[in-house]
Chain A
């Protein structure tokens, strides 16, 4: 049984400053992802991969269609959902790894990473141990853990963000170019962590520009330009 089901998803951007110019981006997108699967979104630049991923997270608001997520024992419809419903789904079910960390001034890296788990009720010591493990695997030196990530390099901030997104075992993970701007050693660490998550039964949807990363993680390809089409490949 899938963990995420999308049907008829349609999204345009209407720019009011340009005489209500409508830019259609997604039309009638359908897909389903089951636990243990990783669906790679492909398509040329501007084809709507990021728009689709952000819609799945409830960040963009589709015009029509359905995004249903298995949330605990329930199915929750995310299109036109109440804000507190979306927030609850994000807290417990949906993880999102983006390219950019929105830095909160003055919060230590270790606390940035541990926060989602603590918010879900994990004991603080355990959440910190887990954060230390993730930061270690992702190659963030221990001497930086007590500092806020504001002054870190772009690659370091991205790895802090990945660690934060993996501090909870989300049943559904959305990845927006998780390895962009990382060197090969760190990239391998990220791939290994996401691979483990997939093996443990997470349902994953991702955008991977790096073909070797895509080959290592994807179990299926979804071409966004051919809406609705989903092609199977070897894992």
Chain B
């Protein structure tokens, strides 16, 4: 067996349950995410997938269940048992979070270079010239002209903002990235470019990721494994191509059959 099969999961969820009043958004979710794996969470609006992502990333507190993250610095930690300060530190140094709306993940009032540089400083970079050079290099990697380094993201298009948000999240070389509909709300041609970029970066940086999307095409292109959610529950999971090509659950069959052919 290869080393990858012997390693420990980077993220584990056991019995995760989250309620909003009497409504259950996530019910008893169990899974393991392995190093280098991209897990897709699919399902329609209201199925609980974004709530699940927010609980995993420590942005919401579940009523029940445990999330364990295998930190490079601290070893296995209970995400919801950490102090707020410690969790914030983790999320700036070992994690990334790509929001659907780039405005939620960027600081709109400072330059693109500062948006990227801030992350580098969080992991200890202090040399101004190095930070600026790395920021420029990352603009290049996400296909934004380096001449735009000193511009604010308010002057960027939607697709450029999303690419900048990706650069800001990946520049500090996180081990685990959470993505919430990273191509939602963008034109199809802009989407293709971002998907291609993400696919390349995930592979070269050997990232582990949890990706929430309602787009099964995005899931097919970017993920290794899928969990299908309906009404807060995982109704089916498996290899991405198994779930999409041989769906077992009635709801998954309906989702797959609803894809418009092109």
Contacts and interface: CB of A to CB of B under 8 A. Distances in A.
Interface of A: 13-17, 54, 58-61, 72, 74, 83-88, 92, 102, 104-107, 119
Interface stretch (B146-154, B173-181, B239-247): B239-247
Contacts of A105: 192-193, 195-196
Given A14-B248, A59-B241, A84 B34 contact: yes
A95 B4 CA distance: 20
B238 interface: yes
Given A83-B224, A88-B2, A106-B196, A61 B238 contact: yes
A86 B242 CA distance: 11
Given A59-B246, A104-B221, A84 B241 contact: no
Interface string B150-167: 000000000000000000
20 contacts: A13-B246, A14-B248, A15-B253, A16-B254, A17-B257, A54-B246, A59-B242, A61-B242, A61-B248, A72-B1, A84-B37, A86-B239, A87-B224, A87-B239, A92-B2, A102-B220, A104-B196, A104-B221, A105-B196, A106-B193
A207 B253 CA distance: 27
B5 interface: yes
A119 B225 CA distance: 18
> From DSSP, what is the main secondary structure of chain B's interface residues?
helix
A74 B1 contact: yes
B195 to A, nearest CB: 7
Range, interface on chain B? 20 to 34
Contacts of A86: 239
B192 A59 contact: no
Given A59-B241, A85-B5, A105-B196, 12 more contacts: A14-B248, A17-B253, A61-B238, A61-B242, A61-B248, A83-B238, A84-B34, A88-B2, A88-B5, A104-B199, A105-B193, A106-B196
A54 B245 CA distance: 10
B259 interface: no
Nearest to B35: A84
Contacts of B37: 84
Contact of B225 (A14, A61, A83, A106): A83
Contact of A84 (B4, B193, B245): B4
B250 interface: yes
Contacts of A72: 1
Contacts of B2: 88, 92
Contacts of B246: 13, 54, 59-61
A74 B2 CA distance: 11
A53 to B, nearest CB: 12
Nearest to A60: B246
Minimum-distance CB pairs A-B, first 7: A16-B250, A83-B239, A105-B192, A60-B246, A83-B225, A106-B196, A59-B241
Given A15-B253, A84-B34, A106 B242 contact: no
B97 to A, nearest CB: 24
Interface in B212-227: 220-221, 224-225
Contacts of B1: 72, 74, 88
Contact of B242 (A13, A14, A58, A84): A58
Contacts of B4: 84, 88
Q: Which of A83, A87, A107 has the largest number of chain B CB atoms within 10 A?
A: A83
Given A60-B242, A84-B5, A84-B37, A106 B192 contact: yes
B196 A107 contact: yes
A94 to B, nearest CB: 13
B245 A59 contact: yes
A12 B242 CA distance: 14
A102 B203 CA distance: 18
Contacts of A14: 248
Nearest to B37: A84
Contacts of A61: 238, 242, 246, 248
A61 B237 CA distance: 12
Nearest to B253: A16
Contacts of A85: 5
A109 to B, nearest CB: 15
B245 to A, nearest CB: 6
Contacts of A83: 224-225, 238-239, 242
Contacts of B199: 104
Nearest to B241: A59
